[in-house]
Copies of this chain bind each other. A is one copy, B any other.
Amino acid sequence: MRLSVQEVEFDAGAELNAFSAGLAGAGAVVSFTGIVRDSDGTLSAMEIEHYPGMTEAAIAAIITQAQTRWDLADVLVIHRYGKLEPSAQIMMVATASRHRLAAFEAAEFLMDYLKSRAPFWKKEIGRDGSTWVDAKDEDESALKRW
C-alpha cells in the first residue's frame, strides 16, 4: 500500500508502472487520475486545503475498508493540496486484483469515499474572485451504493 498526501506534482505514468511492477498474482490494474478542469475558461487556479494528520488517517481508514471488502493485491492513493493550475493532476488512485470487477469496484469505492470523507476542500480561483466548491448531493448519495 502506498499513500501520499503531497503538495508537489506527481508522474501518473511512473506511479502506474511502479505500482504494476510490484504485483504478484494480479490480473487487473485500474487507475483513476483527477485533473483540474477549467469548465468555462475562467479558472486561474484551484486551491486545495486539507487537515494535516486527519487527512492521512482518513485515507488510510478508507483504504483499509476497501481491502476488507475486496481481495486486493495492492492499493495506491496520492492526493495533492495547495495551489494547482488548470490541467494539473489533483490526485490518483490505483487498485490491483485477480479479477477486473474487484479492481474496478475498489477504485470507484475509493474515489467515492475520498470525495466526501477525506478532509480536503477545493476553492476555485477565477478572474472575478474565488468560490469554495460546494459538496454535491450526488457525491453523498454515491456512498449509498457501497
A positions within 8 Å CB-CB of B? 11-17, 20, 23, 25-39, 87, 89, 98, 100, 103-104, 107-108, 111
- Asked if B37 contacts A33 (CB within 8 A), the reply is no
Q: In the assembled complex, which residues on chain B have CB atoms less than 8 Å from the CB atom of A30?
A: 30-32, 107
Query: Given A12-B20, A17-B13, are A34 and B98 also a contact pair (CB < 8 Å)?
Result: no
Is chain A's interface secondary structure helix, strand, loop, or mixed overall? mixed
Number of copies: 2
- Asked if A26 contacts B37 (CB within 8 A), the reply is yes
> A58: shortest Cβ distance to chain B, in Å?
19
- Asked if A100 contacts B29 (CB within 8 A), the reply is no
Report the nearest B residue to A18, measured CB to CB.
Answer: B13
Report the nearest B residue to A28, measured CB to CB.
Answer: B34
Q: How far is A136 from B36 in the complex, measured between Cα atoms in Å?
A: 40
Q: In the assembled complex, which residues on chain B have CB atoms less than 8 Å from the CB atom of A34?
A: 27-28, 100
Which of B28, B36, B104, B108 contacts A35, CB < 8 Å? B28
Q: In the assembled complex, which residues on chain B have CB atoms less than 8 Å from the CB atom of A26?
A: 35, 37
- Asked if B11 contacts A23 (CB within 8 A), the reply is no
